[in-house]
Amino acid sequence: MKVPVSICWLRRDLRLHDNTALNKALSGPYPVICLFIFDRDILDKLPSPYDRRVTFTWKALNVLNDALTRKGSSLLVLHGTPLQAFQELSQRFDIRSAFVNHDYEPYAIERDHKVEKFIGSTGAGFYSFKDQVIFEKDEILKPDVRPYTVYTPYLNAWLRKYYLQSASPVSMVGSENFFQIKPCPLPSPRSIGFEITDSPDPVPSIDEFVIKNYKANRDLPSKEGTSRLSVHLRFGTVSVRELVRIASQISETWLKELVWREFFMMLLYHFPMVVNHSFRKKYDNINWRNNEKEFECWCRGETGYPLVDAGMRQLNATGWMHNRVRMVTASFLVKHLLIDWRWGEAYFAEKLIDYDLAVNNGNWQWVAGSGADAAPYFRIFNPLTQQQKFDPDFDYIKKWIPGFKPGYITPIVDHDFARQRALTELKRVVGG
């Protein structure tokens, strides 16, 4: 006779504490199995076996498994498509309910619909909850009940609502409701076709000194002036409720960055076409040059513009890039080289360990001028003045371009020429 259980399917919420779906599952009448699925529909799209995100996930799962082992349970890790995984589980257990936290990306929504349909066909319940954001979907709308497409009024509405109904952490109930199973080692990345590579510590470190001084230091790439928590937000090894609470107390500037994240997630949910198309439809009519050799120079960090090249080399070497430099490198690709923002977005998606579809897409479209509340088309970052302002002593540049000297590479395009070329084309399409 199969044992009746509840499943808590972990995805972008790789933690036991302050986890809404897990708390709801543990509050129910059935013992809870914590499940993670290495999803082949996602893994098969990764171009390299040396993917830092797979290694980070594996490390985070080991942390979870250790915590569950101390409670007499274990993390169940399966490999395949989610539908196949639940079909297999239904042969082993009497699944009475499945609990998840919402995911707002188009693939995730489709994936969850398939699993919910199967779970429902067995007579079990499928329950999904808000967890990775403070406000979601239709919770922040304009007075005319349409979604915001400009950040500042969205921010103001978000802040008003947050301070009226502050989101408290979700406290976990007792461990007695975990399914008691013999602890077992997790499958290694190699067993699913990947190699272990360098990645950040999966246990987040919240440095309140850095957050408190975020406004003063965030634009200086040579300093450790950013929180480095983006990867933890992406995989849910930290609770957004905890971070927003800290930000609301010590750094309004950092809090506004967390709200940008939710703004982009809201836009993706309401306007899923932005995955492949410009939010501002006119921008799909740009005559991109899309020079492949110049794109390869940009990817390698060999454009002859030091701040751009240092940023791309940092990305290639570490899977992360400083936020100010992300804007400069993105602007250079789109405006100086007139290469489609989707090319750059795809490259960042391949390399960034903190890759988040909504945030990556939103930021690229912001830089390109094609997004909601985007930078105007005539805003073109000058990578030379950006370097003079934010890395005046070349400290960041020298770190990522060993032996750097002025003129180390002949620039692939002249700034003034490129700027005028971009302005002419962009004005033709959107500014005429």
Give the type of residue at 137: K
CA dist., res. 367 & res. 359, Å (int): 12
CA dist., res. 403 & res. 393, Å (int): 14
Q: Are 374 and 365 in contact (CB under 8 A)?
A: yes
Q: Are 238 and 206 in contact (CB under 8 A)?
A: yes
Which among 320, 343, 364, 400 is annotated as catalytic? Answer: 364
**320 among known catalytic residues:** no
Q: Are 75 and 186 in contact (CB under 8 A)?
A: yes
Which among 320, 341, 343, 366 is annotated as catalytic? Answer: 341
- φ, ψ of residue 187 to 5 degrees: the values are -65, 145
**400 among known catalytic residues:** no
Which among 288, 291, 316, 350 is annotated as catalytic? Answer: 288
**156 among known catalytic residues:** no
CA dist., res. 38 & res. 200, Å (int): 19
Which among 62, 136, 323, 350 is annotated as catalytic? Answer: 323
- Helix ranges (DSSP H) in 352-394: 357-368, 383-390
**360 among known catalytic residues:** no
Give the closest residue to 25 by CA, choosing from 126, 169, 134: 126
426 has which bridge partners? Answer: none
Sheet holding 125-129, edge to edge: 76-80, 32-39, 4-10, 94-101, 125-129
Which among 9, 58, 254, 260 is annotated as catalytic? Answer: 260
- Helix ranges (DSSP H) in 122-199: 151-164
CA dist., res. 19 & res. 337, Å (int): 44
- Sort residue 278 into left (φ over 0), alpha (ψ -120 to 50) or beta: beta
Which among 136, 242, 257, 350 is annotated as catalytic? Answer: 257
**260 among known catalytic residues:** yes
- φ, ψ of residue 213 to 5 degrees: the values are -100, 15
**9 among known catalytic residues:** no
Active-site positions read: 257, 260, 288, 323, 341, 364
